[in-house]
Amino acid sequence: MTAAPHPSPHPQQHPEQSPEQRRAADIIRLLTLYRPLLDAFVIDFFTDGLWAQLPPAWQPALASATPVQLAGLLGGRGGPGAAWPLSLLAFAAAAQALAFPRGCPGGSPRPPCQSSHLHPLLRRHVKPKKQHEIQRLGKVGAPPNPLRPPNSPQPPNSPPSQQLLQRLSQATGCERVVDIGAGQGHLSRFLAFGLGLSVTAVESDGRLVGLAERFDQELLRELGKTRGPGHKSPPPRPLTPRAPQHVAGRLDPAAPWGEFLLPPNPPEPGPAARNPLGGPGGSEDGGQVLVTGLHACGDLGPALLCHFARSPAVAAVALAGCCYMKLSTALQPPGCPLGYPLSASVAALPGHQLSYRAREAACHALEEYEGRLRGGSPQLRAHCYRAVLESLIRAADPAKRHLGLQPGRKAHALSFSQYAHLGLPLAGLDPAGVPLDSESVGAMLEQQHKVVAFCTLGQLLAPAVETLILLDRLLYLREQGFHCALVPLFNPRFSPRNLVLVAARTPLATVLAGLDKDSEVGDSSKDEDLGKAESPREGQS
């Protein structure tokens, strides 16, 4: 990193190249310039001397930067110091310009505990983050106001009356939805009970399938009850007593759509579940289906896109990915696509490869980190603690490198000595034999501001890496001739994987119209804050 490599000549811009292809090429050029920074592990900050590997002109500027100035470097309010080198400012500007816009967060830094846009029965067992995602993917409209004249305009802050999947259903004529990786069935339950769609929920964990079916039965029992005379508030939007069908199975990326299910892992006792989509047209009645994957982990997302591309039975797909570090990048068995790269366009670009560390960085939470910088959060010391601990472990036993230690979720609230007494035994070391009060340990702890600055540089690059992965998926679909778009549907403050890839066999203009202008900010104050919301990172995978 001390001497950044000279950029290779820009590849000739062919007139037939799309803006997405040019953006992918530009991102790869940027990542090639700063690959050592991208591939570095922060826990090696002291053992590998990462600070000394930064460009010399950057070091004094970053060492003297305040947390608020670092937050400004990430693109928020405020700005960097007056004497910051132009090369550092150009690096930040390029990283921000090449990353996909993530939407304006606005509103509260965390989701309300209860979304007033969801029926109370659909909120049960659902964490605030998931309620937000269902509400945004569902775009649940408020119930009609009986006091408002029929022809009067909708209030300016009212949410739209239709949602993304409902729009896809109407545009494609499909009323059957397949929810892949359904988990406890929260989204499937909303689509079935809330929108009246025919839903098949596929989940590989049989335990979660059983839990989802139990929640369905709870809801059906509640629907059978009548409202008592004590209810004074207007009734919420009525639900349809139509439960989703739950199937325990795994996706087989090499199988045709009608045979796409493998037994769950581990296999369940008894006969295997019949594939509900095994009809001649890809579904029981031979009709088309919509497929959705809300935060499909690793290779599950690319597998869904490949099924869509080769199966006319799938009319459209809405996919939000996560866990990019789990994407396969080595050769797979015949018929099984790579997780990355998926498109011929990206695969043909020199330097397109992404290391495990780079793909892990793509699972960033930029807005959350910026908020910690602005608030001077004590959580910022956690990276420094772990880097010092790594130095002590490696000094005691060089073979013990990058151990998956978890001394506790509240590590930042401890002194380093307390933290080390929890972490060293996890590495098989006796804290009594490690010099925790030495001058060298104190000197490392005094460099916390440098560790924070180094982390900030990684956060700057992370959205560009995620953009490259998502561009690869979008270009793959374009190469197959499909209509597709990326929509920043969720609030990135508490749902960092907020970009949803929408693809269909028919034009999407009507489906996407107005989604980029829609905002929940005006209605967030109406939601019920009944307690402490979950942290932004909880339940992300």
3-state secondary structure 252-307: CCCCCHHHCEECCCCCCCCCCCCCCCCCCCCCCCCCCEEEEEEEEECCHHHHHHHH
What's the rounded Cα separation, in Å, for the pair 401 and 274? 46
Average pLDDT for 527-534: 37
Task: Show which of 409, 427, 446 is a domain's final residue.
Answer: 446
Residues 441 and 477 in one domain: no
439: in domain: yes
Secondary structure (H, E, C), 331-360: CCCCCCCCCCCCCHHHHCCCCCCCCHHHHH
| Count of structural domains, the chain | 2
314-322/499-504 β-pairing = antiparallel
Residues 437 and 486 in one domain: no
Residues 265 and 396 in one domain: no
Q: Is the pLDDT of residue 153 over 50?
A: no
Q: Is the pLDDT of residue 124 over 90?
A: no
Instruction: Give the predicted TM-score (pTM) of the model.
Output: 0.82
Task: Show which of 446, 462, 488 is a domain's final residue.
Answer: 446
58: in domain: no
Task: Mean pLDDT check: name the lowest of 145-149, 172-176, 290-294.
Answer: 145-149
pLDDT for the residue numbered 265: 60
Over the stretch 198-224, which tens digit does the pLDDT of each residue have? 999 999 888 999 999 998 888 888 887
Question: Which residue did the predictor score with more confidence, 266 or 312?
Answer: 312
181: in domain: yes
Helix, coil or strand: residue 529 = coil
387: in domain: yes
Residues 267 and 133 in one domain: yes
Q: Is the pLDDT of residue 266 over 80?
A: no
Over the stretch 461-499, which tens digit does the pLDDT of each residue have? 999 999 999 999 999 999 999 999 998 888 888 888 889
Average pLDDT for 35-50: 95
Q: How confident is the model at residue 6 (pLDDT cuts 50, 70, 90)?
A: very low
165: in domain: yes
Residues 478 and 430 in one domain: no
Q: Which domain holds residue 164?
A: 120-140+160-221+238-346+473-526
pLDDT for the residue numbered 168: 87
- CA-to-CA separations, 121 to 24, 117, 237, 463, 531, in angstroms, rounded: 44, 12, 11, 36, 18
pLDDT for the residue numbered 156: 38
The highest-confidence range among 190-199, 332-341, 474-483, by mean pLDDT, is 474-483
Which of 538, 504, 519, 476 has its CA nearest to residue 347? 476
The highest-confidence range among 144-153, 269-278, 432-441, by mean pLDDT, is 432-441
Bridge partner residues of 432 (DSSP):
none
CATH at 136:
3.40.50.150
Residues 398 and 487 in one domain: no
Residues 441 and 480 in one domain: no
109: in domain: no
Residues 304 and 213 in one domain: yes
Asked if 316 contacts 174 with a C-beta cutoff of 8 angstroms, the reply is yes
What's the rounded Cα separation, in Å, for the pair 475 and 482? 10
Over the stretch 281-311, which tens digit does the pLDDT of each residue have? 445 555 789 999 988 999 999 999 998 998 8
250-251/261-262 β-pairing = antiparallel
Q: Is the pLDDT of residue 52 over 50?
A: yes
277: in domain: yes
Which of 359, 249, 255 has its CA nearest to residue 306? 255
Residues 169 and 315 in one domain: yes
305: in domain: yes
Q: How confident is the model at residue 526 (pLDDT cuts 50, 70, 90)?
A: very low
Task: Show which of 399, 431, 446 is a domain's final residue.
Answer: 446
pLDDT for the residue numbered 17: 84
Question: Which residue did the predictor score with more confidence, 186 or 160?
Answer: 186
Mean pLDDT of the chain: 79
Question: Which residue did the predictor score with more confidence, 394 or 229?
Answer: 394
Residues 194 and 129 in one domain: yes
User: What is the amino acid identity at position 10?
Assistant: H
Residues 319 and 385 in one domain: no
Residues 189 and 294 in one domain: yes
Would you give the distance in Å from CA 214 to the centre of its chain? Answer: 28
